C-alpha cells in the first residue's frame, strides 16, 4: 500500500496506467511473501477462564486445552481437581464454550465426573474431525496406578459443537491395556496426504515406560489403533537425570503432510530444551533419525503449545531453563528450522502448561488472531487458567 501511494503521486499521464499494472504485480508478490514477515504479535485481550479455589467443588484447575470447532466456536477444557492440586485424585473435566471468537464464554460445565477415585481422570487431547463436524476428547483414568489398576484410555465425543457429550468409551479395548495419556494439547485430523482425513493423537507413557506414542483412527474415531512410537532409554526401567525420556507432546501437520511433534524433554537429555520428532508416513512411524534438539526453545520441563497457521509455526512455553516463568510466544517462518529473534512475552510471572488454537474459516479477521490458553499465577503457576487473544499484526 505504501509503495503504490508514493509511486502514483510522482507519476503523470498515461505512464500511471502501465506503472500501476507493474506495481500491482510487484505488490501482489510482496503481499503474499511478506504477510508472514510482518508478524508482530500483540497481546490484544486476556481473560481468566478459571480461578483455582474460587469455584464450588474444585480446588485447582490445571492442564488447559483449547480448540476451534468446525462451526467456528472455541472450546476450552481443564482438569477440575476436586480436593488438591495433585496430579492424582478425583477430578472433573471442566469446559467453557465461546461462540463469538473468545469475547464471551459460557458458564463452566463439568462434562465428565470421575466420582471420588484415588487416581481419577487426567487430560488429555482434543481432536476436531472437520469431515463429520465432531469434537473428540481423549483422557485417561488411573494413569498413575495409585491404588488402582489398570490405566484406561477413555474418549467422549460431541456431535453438536460441544453442547452435549457422549457417555465415556473405553479405548483400551481397541488399543490394549497400556498407560497412555494424550498431549496434553490437541490432536489433528490430517489435511494433506499421506493419510488425509486420519485422526492423529500423540501422548506419552508412565515415567518408566515413557516415550511419545501415537494413536490413530481412519474412521472418525470409531476404531483406534497404535501408530509410531519413540521410546525412552532405558525403556521400562527407572530413569536417572539426563536419561533420554520423551514425555508430553504437541503435534502439528506441515503443508508437506509431515507430522512434527514438539516434545517435553523429561530428564534434560542433551540440553535444557525441547526435543522434536517427526513422521513422514501419517504417524505410522517416528524414526529416530528424524529426532533433533531445538536449542532455541529452552524449557524448564513442561507441556508446551504449538500451532501451524498459514505457513507459520507458533510455539508457547515458559521460556526459562529452570523455572516455570516467562510464558513466551515464538514463531518460525521456516517450519521450525529457525525461530524469529523477536519473541513476545505473554506473562513474565509463574506460568505453566499452554495450548494454542485459531479459527481458520478464511475470513480476514480469522487470519489475524491466534488464541493461547495457559496456566498463569502470581506466586504459583496453577492459580488460574487464562485465555489470551493475540493479534498477529501488532493490532493493525
Ligand X SMILES: *[C@@H]1O[C@H](CO)[C@@H](O)[C@H](O)[C@H]1NC(C)=O
Q: For binding to ligand X (CB under 6 A), which residues are involved?
A: 141, 150, 152, 170, 172-173, 177, 319-320, 326, 328, 343
Assess whether 248 carries a catalytic annotation. Answer: yes
Nearer to ligand X, 69 or 152 (CB): 152
Nearer to ligand X, 141 or 155 (CB): 141
**Catalytic residue among 68, 375, 381, 382, which?**
375
Nearer to ligand X, 25 or 145 (CB): 145
Cell representation of residue 150: 489398570
Helix/strand/coil for 298: strand
Shortest spacing between CB 75 and ligand X, in angstroms: 24
- Whose cell is 472418525? That residue is 220
Report the run of H or E that residue 45 belongs to, with start and end: strand 42-51
Helix/strand/coil for 314: strand
Shortest spacing between CB 288 and ligand X, in angstroms: 28
Shortest spacing between CB 2 and ligand X, in angstroms: 31
Nearer to ligand X, 165 or 244 (CB): 165
Shortest spacing between CB 115 and ligand X, in angstroms: 12
**Catalytic residue among 248, 253, 340, 383, which?**
248
Q: What is the distance, to the nearest Å, from the Cα of residue 141 to the centroid of all Cα atoms in its chain?
A: 21
Helical H segments across 132-213, by residue range: 172-175
- Whose cell is 481423549? That residue is 138
Residue 28's beta-bridge partner residues?
none
**Distance from C-alpha of 382 to C-alpha of 380, rounded to nearest angstrom:** 6
Cell representation of residue 269: 537429555
**Catalytic residue among 61, 68, 353, 369, which?**
353
Assess whether 46 carries a catalytic annotation. Answer: no
Going by their DSSP bridges, the two strands 185-186 and 121-129 should be labelled as parallel
**Catalytic residue among 11, 87, 113, 281, which?**
87
Which residues have CB under 8 Å from 26's CB, separation 6+? 3
Assess whether 321 carries a catalytic annotation. Answer: no
Q: 265: how many CB neighbours lie within 10 A of its CB? A: 24
Assess whether 208 carries a catalytic annotation. Answer: no
Nearer to ligand X, 282 or 300 (CB): 300
Shortest spacing between CB 141 and ligand X, in angstroms: 6
Q: Minimal CA–CA distance to 318: which of 332, 308, 304?
A: 304
Taken as a whole, the chain contains a residue count of 396
| Active site (catalytic) residues | 87, 248, 353, 375
Amino acid at each position: 500500500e505504501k509503495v503504490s501511494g508514493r509511486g502514483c503521486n510522482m507519476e503523470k499521464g498515461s505512464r500511471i496506467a502501465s506503472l500501476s499494472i507493474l506495481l500491482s504485480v510487484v505488490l501482489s508478490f510482496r503481499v503474499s511473501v511478506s504477510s508472514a514477515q510482518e508478524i508482530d504479535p500483540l497481546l490484544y485481550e486476556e481473560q481468566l477462564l478459571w480461578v483455582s479455589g474460587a469455584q464450588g467443588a474444585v480446588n485447582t484447575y490445571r492442564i488447559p486445552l483449547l480448540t476451534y470447532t468446525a462451526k467456528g466456536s472455541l472450546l476450552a477444557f481443564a482438569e477440575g481437581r476436586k480436593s488438591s492440586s495433585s496430579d492424582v485424585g478425583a477430578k472433573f473435566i471442566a469446559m467453557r464454550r465461546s461462540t463469538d471468537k473468545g469475547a464471551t464464554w459460557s458458564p463452566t460445565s463439568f462434562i465428565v465426573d470421575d466420582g471420588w477415585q484415588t487416581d481419577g481422570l487426567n487430560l488429555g487431547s482434543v481432536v476436531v474431525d472437520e469431515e463429520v463436524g465432531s469434537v473428540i476428547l481423549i483422557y485417561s483414568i488411573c494413569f498413575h496406578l495409585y491404588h488402582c489398576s489398570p490405566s484406561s484410555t477413555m474418549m467422549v465425543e460431541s456431535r453438536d459443537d460441544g453442547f452435549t457429550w457422549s457417555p465415556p468409551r473405553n479405548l483400551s479395548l481397541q488399543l490394549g491395556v497400556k498407560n497412555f495419556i494424550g498431549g496434553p494439547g490437541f490432536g489433528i485430523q490430517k489435511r494433506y496426504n499421506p493419510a488425509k482425513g486420519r485422526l492423529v493423537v500423540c501422548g506419552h507413557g508412565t515415567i518408566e515406560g515413557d516415550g511419545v506414542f501415537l494413536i490413530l483412527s481412519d474412521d472418525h474415531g470409531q476404531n483406534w489403533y497404535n501408530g509410531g512410537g519413540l521410546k525412552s532409554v532405558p525403556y521400562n526401567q527407572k530413569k536417572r537425570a539426563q536419561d533420554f525420556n520423551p514425555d508430553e507432546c504437541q503435534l502439528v501437520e506441515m503443508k508437506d503432510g509431515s507430522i512434527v511433534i514438539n516434545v517435553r524433554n523429561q530428564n534434560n537429555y542433551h540440553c535444557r530444551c525441547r526435543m522434536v520428532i517427526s513422521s513422514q508416513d501419517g504417524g505410522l512411524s517416528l524414526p529416530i533419525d528424524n529426532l533433533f534438539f531445538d536449542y532455541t526453545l529452552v524449557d524448564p520441563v513442561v507441556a508446551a503449545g504449538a500451532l501451524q497457521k498459514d505457513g507459520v509455526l507458533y510455539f508457547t512455553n515458559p521460556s526459562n531453563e529452570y523455572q516455570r516463568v516467562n510464558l513466551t510466544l515464538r514463531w518460525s517462518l521456516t517450519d521450525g528450522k529457525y525461530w524469529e529473534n523477536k519473541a513476545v512475552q505473554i506473562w513474565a510471572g509463574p506460568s505453566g502448561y499452554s495450548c494454542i488454537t485459531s479459527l481458520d474459516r478464511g475470513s480476514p479477521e480469522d487470519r489475524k488472531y491466534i488464541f493461547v490458553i495457559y496456566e498463569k499465577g502470581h506466586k504459583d503457576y496453577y492459580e488460574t487458567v487464562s485465555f489470551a487473544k493475540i493479534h498477529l499484526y501488532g493490532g493493525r
